[in-house]
Amino acid sequence: MPDPAPNMHEDSPPATAQGQAATGAASSDTALRAAFDALFQASRADPLPDWPRRRARLLALKTMIRRNRTVFGAAIARDFGQRPQAETDMAEIFPSLQEIRHALRHGKGWMRRRKAGVSLPFLPARAAIHPRPVGLVGIVAPWNYPLFLAIGPLVSAFVAGNRAMVKLSEHAPAFAEAFATAATAHFDAQTLAVVTGGPEVAAPFTALPFDHLVFTGSTAIGHHVMAAAAANLTPLTLELGGKSPALVAPDADLDQAVAAIMRGKLLNAGQTCIAPDYVLVPRARQDDFIVAAKAWVARHYPALAGNPDYSHIINPAQFARLDRALQAALAKGASAHALSDAAPDAARRLMPPLIVLDAQGPLAEEEIFGPILPLVPYDHLREAVAHITARPRPLAFYPFTRDPETRALLLAHVTAGGVSVNDTLFHIAQPGLPFGGIGASGMGAYHGKAGFERLSHLMPVFEQAKMNGAGLLAPPYRHRFRNLMRLLMR
């Protein structure tokens, strides 16, 4: 549909299409550039959309998700081989709709001009901050949560008044096709373009001169994206990954900690950028952790080999990567503890959950992105903290403790992109909290007001009063000027 009309009701049907969003057809550099140019020119012709138009775009996005909920879920399940609709509803549909609702509730207020102070020598002038759209936002979404990690940045772009161009992952082709088709039905080519394809499309996409580029993916690819953006001085938001630790303090309730850690780890079979990557646990409680984890898996994923609630690995290459990492650790003396009776099945890309002790090699050094969970024992809490702080700052940190002093110590010493205390993952589902990384885990943050401000230019405006003393600052710089400077610099 065209850019939605301002009076469109929340669940009203889309208007007749008057244009088409760019889809996988934009596979050549020429088509990609044409889609970019249409959006770029529209952003310059209409640089400050009012709230009714922004609201209408958000409502159209909401309608698109609601109407295609099962279509998107089925497409994602095809891409993964198996992923339950319930998991897609919980981890993608629900948080996407929540982001939209939050933006609809607060966006008009975020847009308002903000008064700013004027220093005493410049009174009675006035100053204010005018939030303005940056213009055209590029979004590169990954395969692991292909809907939510496209919609989240898109909501921020729309509420801030921008146009957007989304590149979807070639590793989730069924979803990419479904999303592109839905976008074409709900938005015109001057509002949103959706692009599909592999590296041959991704490279020229990230080299386009966007007003801002949001990339979600691996740290390794993040280096290439940053280099491509640098040629155009394109501002970046990088949502990367890394080894996000969970730390079970000595006072923690072990059963509660295990339940939260396993729930966070096995969602999407561990293919989550903020999944607990490894667990620091008191040495004396290591065996108890394994026993509790086995019991948790038995309760929540019985008969795991045929369990419809357990997701599979996205493709053979990722399955092989995980298997290589596990075999490399075992060859160096690590031990693996199966948490179910299921055997790995490469043909179905089924990888059962494992706990690994004495992990080395890639399992210890690289983001795992799968259902393998290393345990790292410690003897003293400060030893555990030192283990975390000696490594690159993680995207997420999960401390488990009920002791206020322990919590304060951990939060004071560990810097991470985001933190959930006594749970995992849930900080990402709060629209009132910014989501982003730090250092090797990323730069910049979005969601809620943080996303609005990230994809806005907070333009400072100084308005001079009719009666003012600015003339006193002009040459010739003689006695009166020197006296004024002496007064101002006291």
Asked if residue 154 lies in contact with residue 127, where contact means CB atoms within 8 angstroms, the answer is: no
pLDDT at position 76 over 70: yes
| CA gap 424, 80 in Å, rounded | 23
Residue 465 lies in a domain: no
21 pLDDT band (50/70/90 cuts)?
very low
188 pLDDT band (50/70/90 cuts)?
very high
The predicted pLDDT at position 249 comes to 98
Residue 16 lies in a domain: no
CA 371 to chain centroid, in Å, comes to: 21
Domain count, the chain: 2
The predicted pLDDT at position 428 comes to 96
pLDDT at position 82 over 80: yes
Residues 327, 391: one domain? yes
Per-residue pLDDT averaged across 250-267, rounded? 98
Residues 151, 266: one domain? no
pLDDT at position 23 over 60: no
Contacts of 32 (CB under 8 A, 6+ apart): 22, 26, 195, 201, 204, 205, 208
The predicted pLDDT at position 29 comes to 84
What pLDDT digit, counting tens, does each position of 342-376 carry?
999 999 999 999 999 999 999 999 999 999 999 99
> What are the catalytic residues?
239
Token pair for residue 91? 């981890």
Residues 161, 261: one domain? no
81 pLDDT band (50/70/90 cuts)?
very high
Q: How far is CA 190 from CA 26, 128, 138, in A?
A: 15, 31, 14
Residue 14 lies in a domain: no
Residue by residue, DSSP assigns 16-61 as PPSS----TT--SHHHHHHHHHHHHHHHHHS-S--HHHHHHHHHHH
pLDDT at position 71 over 50: yes
Hey, which residues does 396 pair with through a beta bridge?
418
Residues 310, 451: one domain? no
Residues 306, 390: one domain? yes
Token pair for residue 126? 């006035």
| CA gap 218, 367 in Å, rounded | 9
433 pLDDT band (50/70/90 cuts)?
very high
Residue 438 lies in a domain: no
What are the φ/ψ torsions at residue 176 (nearest 5 degrees)? -60, -45
- CATH assignment at residue 282: 3.40.309.10
Contacts of 439 (CB under 8 A, 6+ apart): 392, 393
12 pLDDT band (50/70/90 cuts)?
very low
Residues 367, 231: one domain? no
Question: In 3D, which of 202, 153, 87 has the Cα closest to residue 442?
Answer: 153
| CA gap 237, 162 in Å, rounded | 15
- Which of the 8 DSSP states describes residue 247? E
Residue 77 lies in a domain: yes
28 pLDDT band (50/70/90 cuts)?
confident
pLDDT at position 25 over 80: no
The predicted pLDDT at position 14 comes to 34
The predicted pLDDT at position 2 comes to 43
The predicted pLDDT at position 146 comes to 98
Residue 13 lies in a domain: no
Residues 331, 449: one domain? no
- Which of the 8 DSSP states describes residue 471? G
The predicted pLDDT at position 412 comes to 98
Question: In 3D, which of 220, 215, 184, 187 has the Cα closest to residue 202?
Answer: 215
* Residue range of the domain that includes 140: 29-240+444-458
| CA gap 250, 406 in Å, rounded | 10
Pairing of strands 245-248, 278-282: parallel
Per-residue pLDDT averaged across 433-462, rounded? 97
Pairing of strands 278-282, 372-378: parallel
189 pLDDT band (50/70/90 cuts)?
very high
- Which of the 8 DSSP states describes residue 440? G
Average pLDDT along the chain: 94
pLDDT at position 6 over 50: no
The predicted pLDDT at position 403 comes to 97
Question: In 3D, which of 321, 77, 207 has the Cα closest to residue 215?
Answer: 207
| CA gap 472, 458 in Å, rounded | 30
What pLDDT digit, counting tens, does each position of 105-131 carry?
999 999 999 999 999 999 999 999 999
| CA gap 264, 301 in Å, rounded | 14
Residues 453, 317: one domain? no
Residues 160, 43: one domain? yes
What pLDDT digit, counting tens, does each position of 356-365 carry?
999 999 999 9
Residues 167, 256: one domain? no
Q: Model-level pTM?
A: 0.92
Query: What amino acid occupies position 437?
Result: G
- CATH assignment at residue 85: 3.40.605.10
Residues 230, 186: one domain? yes
Residues 225, 270: one domain? no
| CA gap 185, 192 in Å, rounded | 11
Query: What amino acid occupies position 479?
Result: H
CA 93 to chain centroid, in Å, comes to: 15
The predicted pLDDT at position 26 comes to 43
Q: Which alpha helices (H) appear in 194-285, and where do they start and end?
A: 199-206, 219-230, 254-266
Per-residue pLDDT averaged across 6-19, rounded? 33
Residue 467 lies in a domain: no
What pLDDT digit, counting tens, does each position of 286-303 carry?
999 999 999 999 999 999
Residue 471 lies in a domain: no
pLDDT at position 70 over 80: yes
